[in-house]
Amino acid sequence: MELTFIIRIFIAGILGGLIGIEREYRAKEAGFRTHFLVALGSALFMVVSQYGFSHILETSPNVSLDPSRIASQVVSGIGFIGAGTIIFQKHVVRGLTTAAGLWVTSAIGLATGAGLYTVSVASTILVLICLEVLNYTIQHFGTRHISFSFISPDKAHIDEILLRLKNEKAVLHSYRVKLESFQAKEVYHVSMEMVMKRSKFDNGFIDFISEFDGVTVENIE
């Protein structure tokens, strides 16, 4: 019997690790170790919940236990871990997919701990397919929030950059220009926050800014 429990925990760790590898490859907040531990811990809680108190039931016939009580608390507990991966920064919410991945990983761990191997494996495959399809869709059709700043010696360059961004269908959220002294010269310090298509950004956004003489990119994220 104990060998069966060990196999369940082992399989749960592998399935969670597979999801974690995908998240690690995408450089997300929670990677292989986090998903591995979440799946393994969830499976262990399920095993303890179902079989950990069987000796009490055998010796005390008047005692009744709910076998799902401990496992049900995993759902609440995983919410705290998932919340830690969600970040709200500069009008953008990040980490929702990773948080959802941890949540479903815990569910896979619970299912594996209950001995539902087919359901667990099928769910893992569906999660990986969903993440890959989602990533492909976002890369080709999604948008990206960009916050960047640069220095320009000529205000005409700024106007030209704004015009080019408008032609690229970029949506400007904020735009600040400040005249400063830089290396004994007066320059314009520009900060922008905008949303544009990922395909446009990946196809040489920094190169496009660098086309203008004297324009220096300070920060971009």
Q: For the chain, which residues make up each domain, given as ranges?
A: 2-141, 143-220
Place of tokens 């949303």: 195
- Structure pTM? 0.66
Candidates 148, 138, 198, 132; CA nearest to 168 is: 198
What tokens does 150 get?
């640069």
Measure CA of the first residue to CA of the last residue in the chain; give whole Å: 53
pLDDT in tens, 128-171: 998 888 777 766 666 677 777 877 877 777 778 777 777 777 77
Cα–Cα distance for residue pair 157/215, rounded to 1 Å? 8
Contacts of 213 (CB under 8 A, 6+ apart): 157
With contact defined as beta carbons under 8 Å apart, do 15 and 32 qualify? no
Cα–Cα distance for residue pair 75/159, rounded to 1 Å? 52
Q: Fold for 143-220, please state it.
A: Alpha-Beta Plaits (3.30.70)
pLDDT in tens, 196-211: 776 666 556 666 777 7
